[in-house]
Amino acid sequence: MKKLKDTYVLILAGGIGSRFWPISRESKPKQFIDILGTGNTLIQEAFMRYSKIAQKENIYVITNERYVDLVSEQLPQLPNSQILGEPYGKNTAACVTYASFKISELSKDGILIVAPSDHLILNESNFINQIHLAADFAKKNNALITLGIKPHRPDTGFGYIQYEKEETSPAINQVKTFTEKPPLEMAKKFLESGDFLWNSGMFIWSINNILSALRKHLPEMSFAFEEGKGAYNTSIEKEHIDRIYSQINSISIDNGVLEKANNVYVLPSEFGWSDLGTWKSVEERLEPVDNNKVLNATFYGINASQNLVVTESDKLVVLKDLSGYFVIDSKDSLLICKNNQEQEVKKIASDVKKKYKGRFG
């Protein structure tokens, strides 16, 4: 399939990935790690995936400025002008607004694909087809489009999208509501109704349409970035961005725009997606070894089952009489916890950081 013309990609790569502690650290978060043992880091996989959709000169990565060198090291084919460094993390609305104003000075009618750097896509050809379909709809309509994933379990770690069953266009449906990380009973009801999708966090829209939506729904943020016009793609861009980021609030694009706009659409999709948000999501992708899941380790189990064992280097791990645990070993830290507590790892990482003054953070 041919690459899309006048299409830009913004890869979001600023997160800390604390749910993958102790392998993921603030100094080197999960997007810069080969978390699945494929030979490529997550950000490298993302770049290769989107290189099949858009021209390489139209692919941008936005990250915290402390990770700019890591991005450059792992993606040497990407020039510095396409790596956007944020002075502070201000959530996804800031990322989208910054990139939209910057790219708008290069293309007035272009399509922008916004995508996290830490997703797993197993059926790449199907994924590319879905992106082409969404981009075509975005080009022809005043539409903000998200890719929705058909849920297969009542997961409380995802946002949910309720959508109209009648299609607006072939395979495209209008969004009714967004719900962020519901409690388990509500998630079960969503799954039973058949009216809900997981929010993948991947968006497709025209530059003009997202700028219009930002001006309408986040006017203060939009105005701040609009004041930087003329500085984008020049040597004084960073100076302006540092000033702008000191003024704006932190808010997600979902809360700031998509939950308010009436032109939001979803493309129900299936392409072997995982957001790789927790160790549980990694466990689901590994083949069993003697009734356990193992990554990078040499494993010997004695009456041990349903465990996830991960080491940073090839280390012998012996488990006896243990079932249903995560055993995650890094160079200086070891995490052992029940595998139904994957959402607790983020709090554990935060508590450890405070207790040991950042030593293991």
> What confidence score (pLDDT) does residue 320 get?
98
Top-level class of domain 7-274: alpha beta
How do residues 311-338 score in pLDDT, each as one tens digit? 998 899 999 999 999 999 999 999 999 9
Contacts of 76 (CB under 8 A, 6+ apart): none
Average pLDDT score over the chain: 95
d(CA 220, CA 216): 10
Concatenating the DSSP letter of every residue in 156-211 gives: TTS-EEEEEEEEEETTEEEEEEEE-S--HHHHHHHHHHS-EEEEEEEEEEEHHHHH
pLDDT tops 90 at residue 156? no
Nearest alpha carbon to residue 11 among 96, 128, 127, 97: 96
How many Cβ atoms sit within 10 Å of the Cβ of residue 191?
A: 16
254 phi, psi to nearest 5 deg:
-65, -55
User: Which residue type sits at 13?
Assistant: A
The predicted structure's pLDDT at residue 339? 94
Bridge partners of 197, per DSSP, are: 161
pLDDT range class, residue 1, cuts 50, 70, 90 = confident
Report CA 78 to chain centroid distance, whole Å.
19
Question: What does the DSSP 8-state code read for residue 323?
Answer: B
Taking the C-alpha atoms of residue 358 and residue 91, their distance in angstroms, rounded to an integer, is 22
**Cα 101 vs. chain centroid, distance in angstroms?**
21
Write out pLDDT tens, residues 190-241.
999 999 999 999 999 999 999 999 999 999 999 999 998 999 999 999 999 9
Query: What's the whole-model pTM score?
Result: 0.94
123 CB-contact burial (10 Å; exposed 0-12 / middle 13-18 / buried 19+): middle
pLDDT in tens, 105-140: 999 889 999 999 999 999 999 999 999 999 999 999
Exposure on the CB side of residue 250, measured as CA atoms within 13 A: 7
The residue length of the chain stands at: 361
Please report, rounded to a whole number, the percentage of residues in the chain having pLDDT higher than 70: 100
Residue type, 295: L
Number of Cβ within 10 Å of residue 165's Cβ equals 8
Whether the per-residue pLDDT at 157 is higher than 90: the answer is no
d(CA 335, CA 341): 12
CA dist., res. 124 & res. 333, Å (int): 35
Instruction: Report domain extents, the chain.
Output: 7-274, 279-355
In which residue are the tokens 């996989």 written?
Answer: 45
| Inter-residue contact 126 to 192 (CB < 8 Å) | no
pLDDT in tens, 272-292: 998 888 999 999 989 999 999
Please report the pLDDT score of residue 314 as a whole number. Answer: 87
d(CA 204, CA 265): 10
> Cα–Cα distances in Å, from 242 out to 71, 148, 220, 252, 253?
20, 34, 16, 19, 20
250, two tokens: 């932190």
DSSP E strands: which ranges in the chain? 7-12, 59-64, 83-86, 111-116, 120-121, 144-149, 160-169, 172-179, 196-206, 264-269, 273-274, 288-289, 292-295, 298-302, 308-311, 316-320, 325-329, 334-338
Residue 136: how many other CB atoms lie within 10 Å: 15
CA–CA gap between residue 4 and residue 180 (Å, rounded): 32
Q: How confident is the model at residue 103 (pLDDT cuts 50, 70, 90)?
A: very high
